[in-house]
Amino acid sequence: MIPAGVETALLDSWEYFLHLAIVLTPLFIGASFLVGLAQEYLPPERVEAMLRSRDHGSGNVLAAGLGAVTPFCSCSTVPVLAGLLGAGAPTGMAFSFLLASPIVNWIAVVLLLGLFGTGVTVAYVTTALVAAIGGGLIIGTFDLDRYIKDVRITAGGREIVTDGGAATTGCNECGTSATNRTHGERVAAAGTGAVSFFRDTLPYIAIGITIGALIHGAVPAEVLLRIAGPNNPLATPLAALAGAPVYVSLSGMLPIAHSLTEAGIPVGTVIAFVIGGAGISIPNLILLNKLFERRLLAVYAATVVTIGITIGVLFNTALAGVL
C-alpha cells in the first residue's frame, strides 16, 4: 500500500506533468520555428561578415542585437566568435555577441511571454540587451587580447583549430542554409527543423518536466521558499550559480523554472537561475575553453553571473508584490 500522503503527492505531480507538457510543448515548437527562420535568413557566416567591419561602440549594439536574434547553439556561436576574433574584431564587441546569444534566447523569450505576459518579457529583453552591450563595452576597456588562444577557422566557419592542433566541429543541428532557397522553401525548412529539433530534445524536455512536476508535487513549498524565497538575501546569487551544474538543455531548464515560479519563487530569482545555466553551462564553457585562456574564461563566467544577479535583483525589486 502506498501511504496516502505519497499517493496524493504523486497524483499532484502527474497532473502538473500533464499541465507543463500541454503549456510548454506548443510554446517550444513555436519558438523552435522562429529559431529556424533566424538561421535560414541569418546563417553564422552572414552574421560574422556583418560584424567584422564594425568598431567598438556601435559594433557592440549590433553584436548584441545579432546575438539575440540568431540563437545558435554553442557549437555554432563559438565558431562565429572565433571568426570575429581571428579577423581582428574588438574583444569587447565579440563579448557583446557572446553574452547576448545565450541570455536573450528566443525559446526563453517565448516561454516568458507565455508565462508572464508582454510587460515582463519586454523588460527582460531590454535589460538583457543593455547588460550584454554594457558588459562588452566594459570588457573592451581592459587589455584581454593576450588571453585569447591562437585559433583558426576552417570548413566555412564550422570548425575551430587551436594552437594545439585539436579541432572542434559544429553539430548537425546548426547547419547552414542554402542561399538560393525561396521564401516558401525557407519557411518549410524552418517548420521541418522545428519538428526535428523538438523530437531530438524531447528526452531533455521530459526530464525537465518530470523534475518540475516532482518539485511541484513532492517538495513542500515552504522548503523552496526557505531556500530561494524573498526572505533569503542570497537566493538570487545562489540561483545564478546553481543554474550551471543543473543545465543540460534549455528545454529541460524551462519546465523547472516554471515549477519554481508556480511554487512562489520570485521571478527575478528564477531568471537568474536560467541566465546562469544558459551562460555558464558546462558544455558552453568546454567549447569556450578552446578559445579563451582560463583567466578570460573566468572573466566571462563572472560577467554572466553578475548579469544574472543584477537582472534578478532588479526584477525582484521592481516586481515585488506584482507577480
- What would the mean pLDDT of 254-265 be, rounded to a whole number? 80
Written as nine digits, the cell of 45 is: 557566416
For residue 147, pLDDT over 80 is answered with yes
Over the stretch 183-222, which tens digit does the pLDDT of each residue have? 788 888 878 877 876 777 777 778 777 877 777 677 766 7
CB-neighbour burial class of residue 170 (10 A; exposed 0-12, middle 13-18, buried 19+): buried
Tell me the per-residue pLDDT of 82-131, one tens digit each, with 9 for 90 and over. 777 777 778 898 899 889 888 886 766 777 777 677 888 888 889 999 99
Q: Which residue has the cell 533569503?
A: 232
Spatial CA neighbour of 133 closest among 264, 295, 307: 307
The whole-number pLDDT of residue 222 equals 75
Give the model's pLDDT for residue 318.
Answer: 84
The more confidently predicted of residues 278 and 254 is 278
Lowest average pLDDT, out of 164-178, 250-264, 278-292, goes to 164-178
pLDDT at 294: 92
pLDDT at 166 over 70: no
pLDDT at 164 over 50: no
CA distance 79 to 171: 11
Mean pLDDT of the 249-265 span: 75
Q: Look at the block and give the residue holding cell 519558438.
A: 31
By the 8 A CB rule, do 16 and 212 touch? yes
Task: Report the pLDDT value the prediction gives residue 310, as an integer from 0 to 100.
Answer: 94
* pLDDT of amino acid 127: 93
Higher-pLDDT residue of 54 and 321 is 54
Task: Give the span between the Cα atoms of 311 and 133, in whole angstroms.
Answer: 14
- The dihedral built from the CA positions of residue 314, 141, 66 and 197, taken in this order, carries a sign that is negative
Q: Which three cell numbers stand for residue 212?
A: 518540475
Which amino acid makes up residue 226?
A: R
Nearest to 284 by CA among 238, 243, 313, 236: 243
Q: Which of 302, 256, 317, 303 is nearest to 123 (CA)?
A: 317
pLDDT at 155: 41
3-state helix/strand/coil string of 101-162: HHHCCHHHHHHHHHHHCHHHHHHHHHHHHHHHHHHHHHHHCCCCHHHECCCEEECCCCEEEC
Q: Give the residue with greater pLDDT, 119 vs 177.
A: 119
- pTM (2 decimals)? 0.74
* Distance from C-alpha of 78 to C-alpha of 287, rounded to nearest angstrom: 7
Any idea which of 48-52, 147-151, 152-156, 159-163 has the lowest mean pLDDT? Answer: 152-156
User: Rounded distance, CA 14 to CA 32, Å?
Assistant: 26
**Mean of all residue pLDDT scores within the chain:** 76
The pLDDT of residue 169 is: 43
Cβ atoms of 267 and 323 closer than 8 Å? yes
Assigned C-alpha cell, 99? 553574452
b/e 37-51 (16+ beta carbons within 10 angstroms → b): bbbbebbbbbbbeeb
Mean pLDDT (whole number) for 162-182: 51
Across the range 267-287, mean pLDDT stands at 83
- Select the more confidently predicted residue: 11 or 237: 237
Amino acid at 41: Y
Res 251 pLDDT > 80 = no
Does 19 have pLDDT greater than 50? yes
